[in-house]
A and B are shown apart, each in its own frame.
Chain A
Amino acid sequence: MKHHLISAADLTRDDAVLILDTAEEMARVADRPIKKLPTLRGRTVVNLFFEDSTRTRISFEAAAKRLSADVINFSAKGSSVSKGESLKDTALTLEAMGADAVVIRHHASGAPYRLANSGWIDGAVVNAGDGTHEHPTQALLDAFTMRRRLVGRDRGIGRDLAGRRITIVGDVLHSRVARSNVLLLNTLGAEVTLVAPPTLVPIGVESWPCEVSYDLDSVLPKSDAVMMLRVQRERMNAAFFPTEREYSRRYGLDGDRMARMPEDSIVMHPGPMNRGMEITAEVADSDRCTAVEQVANGVSTRMAVLYLLLGGAEPAAPAPHARTEETK
């Protein structure tokens, strides 16, 4: 693994499988009376959030605390950033405080890359979402959820998602989740199809390792997992579709559409959901919807990432040969 996690493309297949396997062991800690490991004692993780986020920040905070790291939360609101401090000066401040890792969420695409490659800080940089670019830990927790549901909790150890058909539906244009997912799922051997109105498909999508379709109903029966993206009203300053009603009729997932999906297929949503828009309450509350599971899996996955980046003298390298099966 590289020293930082900026893009899902930074991960090789073996890196990604190692993270998912590690997350599976981390998930077991949540079942214990003492949900804490001493592994990152004395290390400092800074959550540097320039953009609003509840679940990602809480998830990273819970992950770092379960590994006994010291956590410093830094949000741009009410900090020196609102007085005009630059990213560089903020970074130098964090470095002076001895941050071993910086988890950064920023409204500008590329801010984590800048932070990691500028020489301002020595610690590991973890991208927790930058603009409309990437959100690699979300892609990892999504892949973890898929592997658990589609391959199996124990059977999945050491395996990727080869041959699984994943459909990502909705506002791909503004979605960092979609981009990271396409890259990671492709690395893991899955076949990805994006479904969106033409106005919400990004320019240059033909270079992405995936198919693109405009017709949800034709793709659904061939999907092992359908990931509904949130329609990001806050990023939409132009008319991308005529009305919300028309969008939800053509690209929303309701009970009838879900019934046409294969029997064991799952419905995913990175949250927060707009019920009635991209997903109906009936689907959101069904057993096939993994939205709540994804939140729980997020903590385990982020524990795995923090452990593998910070737990040793240097980031983990996947074993040259496959890990021994320990399942019985």
Chain B
Amino acid sequence: MDTNSSDARPVLEAPDIARMLTRIAHEIVERAKGADDVVLLGIPTRGVFLARRLADKLEQITGRPMPVGSLDITMYRDDLRLRPARALARTHIPGEGIDGRLVVLVDDVLFSGRTIRAALDALGDIGRPRAVQLAVLVDRGHRELPIRADYVGKNLPTSLRETVRVQLAEEDGRDTVLLGVREPAPATER
């Protein structure tokens, strides 16, 4: 997953990310008509942090506590057999459950769409939401499945040789989005 960080250049900084999350939070309230039945589920690792930040902003806007959890999709991936078995991350569904609710999936980068396909399968085993929407910080294009995001922080046109890396303070010590050039070596995911 490591890209050559010396070549990677930042395309988004902390204030940009904060503004985008605020805008997405307002869009969710608008589209969901008050966001009464919204449940935010972040996809590990960085989607979880983004979901928590979105939940904080939604609480400020609506004045109500916002259920937020995480959805690990490792066991539902379609490329499991292509790599060594990998460690699992936490799936945490808020106490209210997801049945009949509007689930907003949150991830950092939308690329092939395969992660979201896996997330939709995982959701199906957990309950039956009223609807599922998708919020991503960066949409870099190159979809391999008919999947699109409902809320996008930034559309970032890229070539397949480029890498997009989101860093968040909770995990990496700072907020930034880096655009780099892929090493000719092994392919990174997303």
**Segment with Cβ contacts to B, from A33-41, A190-198, A224-232:** A33-41
Q: Contact: B87 with A326, CB < 8 Å?
A: no
Q: Which of B84, B121, B125, B171 contacts A312 (CB 8 A)?
A: B84
Min CB–CB distance A144 → chain B (angstroms): 14
A151 is an interface residue with CB less than 8 A from chain B: no
Contacts of A308 in B (CB 8 A): 85
B residues contacting the other copy or chain, number (CB 8 A): 25
Please name 25 pairs of A and B residues whose Cβ atoms are closer than 8 Å in the assembled complex, sorted by A: A22-B87, A22-B88, A25-B88, A25-B91, A28-B91, A34-B125, A34-B126, A38-B76, A39-B75, A307-B75, A308-B85, A309-B85, A311-B85, A311-B86, A312-B81, A312-B83, A312-B85, A313-B83, A313-B84, A314-B85, A315-B85, A317-B84, A318-B87, A324-B45, A326-B89
Q: Which A residues fall within an 8 A CB radius of B?
A: 18, 21-22, 25-26, 28, 32-34, 36-39, 307-319, 323-324, 326-328
Known: A25-B90, A307-B85, A327-B90. A312 touches B126 (CB 8 A): no
Cβ distance A110 to chain B, nearest Cβ, rounded Å: 27
Residue B187 at the chain A interface, CB threshold 8 Å: no
Given A18-B87, A22-B88, A326-B90, 11 extra CB contacts under 8 A:
A22-B87, A25-B72, A26-B88, A37-B76, A38-B76, A38-B121, A308-B85, A312-B81, A313-B81, A324-B171, A326-B44
What are the residues of chain B within 8 A of A25 when measuring CB–CB? 72, 88-91
User: Hey, which chain B residues are within 8 Å of A28, CB to CB?
Assistant: 91
Q: Contact: A21 with B87, CB < 8 Å?
A: yes
What is the bound-complex CA distance between A311 and B171, given in angstroms?
27
Bound: A309/B85 CA distance, A: 7
Using Cβ atoms and an 8 Å threshold, which residues of chain A touch B120? none
The reply to whether the CB of B48 lies closer than 8 angstroms to some CB of chain A is yes
Report yes or no: B80 in contact with A312, Cβ–Cβ below 8 A.
yes
Q: Is there a chain A Cβ closer than 8 Å to B157's Cβ?
A: no
Contacts of A318 on B, CB cut-off 8 Å? 87
Please classify the interface of chain A as helix (H, G, I), strand (E, B), loop, or mixed, using the class held by over half of its residues: loop
Residue of A nearest to B52 (CB): A328
A326 to B71 CA separation, bound complex (whole angstroms): 11
Q: By CB atoms of chain A within 10 A, which of B82, B86, B126 has the most?
A: B86
Expressed in whole angstroms, the Cα–Cα distance for A118 and B84 within the complex equals: 24
**A308–B83 CA distance with the chains assembled, in angstroms:** 12
Report the minimum CB–CB distance from B127 to chain A (whole Å): 7
Chain B contact residues, CB within 8 Å of chain A: 44-45, 48, 52, 70, 72, 75-76, 80-91, 121, 125-127, 171
* Cα–Cα, bound, A28→B45 (Å): 18
CB pair B87–A32 under 8 Å, yes or no, is: no
A36–B81 CA distance with the chains assembled, in angstroms:
19
Q: CA–CA, A308 to B75, complex, Å?
A: 11
- In the complex, A36 Cα to B121 Cα: how many Å? 12
A317 → B minimal CB distance (Å): 6
- Beyond A33-B126, A36-B125, is A311–B87 a contact (Cβ under 8 Å)? no
Residue of B at shortest CB range from A309? B85
Given contacts A33-B127, A38-B76, A38-B121, contact A323 B85 (CB under 8 A): no
Tell whether, in the assembled complex, residue A37 and residue B126 are in contact, meaning their CB atoms are under 8 Å apart: no
Q: What chain B residues lie within 8 Å of A36 (beta carbons)?
A: 125
Residue of A nearest to B97 (CB): A33
Quick one: which of A37, A319, A324, A328 contacts B75, CB cutoff 8 A? A37
9 A-B pairs with the lowest CB-CB distances in the bound complex, closest first: A312-B85, A316-B85, A311-B85, A326-B90, A25-B88, A34-B125, A39-B75, A312-B84, A37-B75
A313 to chain B, nearest CB (A): 6
Most chain A C-beta atoms within 10 Å of own C-beta, residue among B45, B48, B76, B90: B90
State in angstroms the CA–CA spacing of A315 and B86 once bound together.
Answer: 9
Contact yes or no, A326 B86, CB < 8 A? no
Bound Cα distance from A327 to B171, whole angstroms? 13
**Best-surrounded residue of A18, A310, A313 (most CB of chain B within 10 A):** A313
Cβ-defined partner of A323 (8 Å) among B52, B70, B87 = B87
- State A116–B88 Cα separation when bound (angstroms): 27
A313 to B80, CA, bound (A): 7
Closest beta carbon of chain B to A68's beta carbon, Å: 10
Q: Known contacts being A34-B125, A38-B121, is A312 close to B70, with CB within 8 Å?
A: no
